[in-house]
Homo-oligomer: A and B are copies of this chain.
């Protein structure tokens, strides 16, 4: 089984990008090939098309299933497992995001929380802890925001992205109002 040319170039590129996207070359290639294929593929199809070992394919599909990016199906009277992508492009992208946050943000958030529980031992530690708190606050709001966005259905997400700049305009206007108010009543108590 050999890949049609356009598929091949996409698959190869996705393999190269794999490591930047948090998975390795093989996983990237397998994922891309599943997405590009109209039909579900067997482990042997993948192994042949990509020229990688059967064992490697096995690890890759396992990993993709753990990322919830691929699923398995069976065909009538056929014992082989057929792999296919777990949803449309949008759904897959959302899952990749979700997983990356889990791997990239959550562990840091947890370490950062532990550090904030500690008693600072030196003045430098006090400074460090203040910085860690900033990191904590930022990661936490980021994380919450991502949660919120993920609750949205894919269509709302699309809408939101299209909204883009206009959203920014609204916010800036709102903030200008606030700072004007502060300038007018400079001696009002801080709340």
Contact = CB atoms under 8 A, between A and B. Distances in A.
A165 interface: yes
21 contacts: A4-B128, A5-B118, A5-B125, A10-B115, A13-B108, A13-B111, A20-B22, A20-B103, A20-B104, A36-B131, A37-B124, A37-B127, A89-B131, A93-B138, A141-B161, A142-B161, A145-B161, A148-B164, A148-B167, A151-B168, A153-B172
A122 B124 CA distance: 65
Interface of A: 4-7, 9-10, 13-14, 17, 20-22, 35-38, 88-90, 93, 103-104, 107-108, 111-112, 114-115, 118, 120-122, 124-125, 127-129, 131-132, 134-135, 138, 141-142, 144-145, 147-149, 151-153, 155-156, 158-162, 164-165, 167-168, 171-172, 174-175
A148 B165 contact: yes
Given A22-B20, A161-B144, A124 B4 contact: yes
Given A20-B22, A20-B104, A151-B168, A141 B122 contact: no
A155 B141 CA distance: 13
Given A103-B20, A104-B21, A152 B172 contact: yes
A10 B151 contact: no
Given A17-B108, A152-B172, A10 B159 contact: no
